[in-house]
Structure 1
C-alpha cells in the first residue's frame, strides 16, 4: 500500500458525550475566549475577524467559514499571510442533543495533514477532557 503524499489531508471524526447544555457549550466552541480555555494556548481576534490560534507560541490563522448559532461552527485555516488556501485544513464543531436521553454530543471533524490516527484520537480525547473540566461535564 502506498503512503499518501506529504500534504495529503485526512478527515478525522469523533463524537463525545458532554454533560452540559447546548447553551453552556456553544461559547466554548464559538468564541475566542471559550476556545482559549480548552482548545489552544491563546486565541486572538484580529480587526478583520480572523482568529489567531496559538499553540506552542506559534500562530495559526483561521476564519469562520460557517456558523449555525447554538449548533455548529467551522474554522478554515489560512496561510501565514492570512490568505485562503486551496484544500485548506478545517475544524468543524457540531453540538447535538438526544431528545430521548437528553445527552449532548460534540462532534469534531478535523480535516488536516495529521497522519497518525491514534495520535489524533489521543489529542482530541485530551482536548475534550479539558473542555469537560471547564463545563463541569
Structure 2
C-alpha cells in the first residue's frame, strides 16, 4: 500500500469492573442480539455469518475473528464490500476475573483511526453504563 494511502491507527485500551459473571456478560459481547442492546443502533448477521454493526444508520461489517466462550471475542472490520483489508480496525472484548477478589473486569481494546483518548474514554464509559444497566452490575 502506498504510504500516502496509509492512515495512522491508534490502540486504545480501557478496563471496567462489572458486577456480573462472565457467563452473564459474554452473550452481550458475542451475539448480535446482545450487542444491539448496548453497543450500537443495531447488529445483524448476514448469510455468511458476518456481523453488520449499524451506527447512525450506516453499516459497518465485521467478522468475529476469534472467541473463547465466557472469556473473549474479537471483531475485525471489513471494507464496504465485506472484504478483508490490511491493518483493519478491530475491537477486542476480554473478560477477566480476579481470583483473589472475584471481581470481573471487561477489558476493551479499540484499534481504529480515532486518536482522541478523552473522546474514546467518554464514549466507552457511556456504553458501559448501558451494559451495566442490562446486567445489573
Normalised to the residue count of structure 1, the TM-score between the two structures is 0.95
Q: Which residue of 2 aligns with 1:56?
A: 56
Q: CA deviation at 1:110?
A: 0.2
Q: Which residue of 2 aligns with 1:77?
A: 77
**For 2:56 and 2:31, how far apart are their aligned partners in 1?**
20
Q: Which residue of 2 aligns with 1:126?
A: 126
Residues 112-123 of structure 1 mapped to structure 2, 5 A cutoff:
112-123=112-123
**Structure 1 residue ranges (4+ consecutive) displaced by more than 2 angstroms after TM superposition:** none
- The answer for unaligned runs of 5 or more in structure 2 is none
> What is the aligned length?
133
- The answer for unaligned runs of 5 or more in structure 1 is none
**For 1:23 and 1:16, how far apart are their aligned partners in 2?**
17
**For 1:79 and 1:60, how far apart are their aligned partners in 2?**
8
**For 1:109 and 1:19, how far apart are their aligned partners in 2?**
20
CA RMSD of aligned residues (A): 1.1
Q: CA deviation at 1:6?
A: 7.1
Three-state SS of the structure 2 residue aligned to 1:24 is: helix
**For 2:41 and 2:6, how far apart are their aligned partners in 1?**
27
Q: Does 1:16 align with 2:30?
A: no
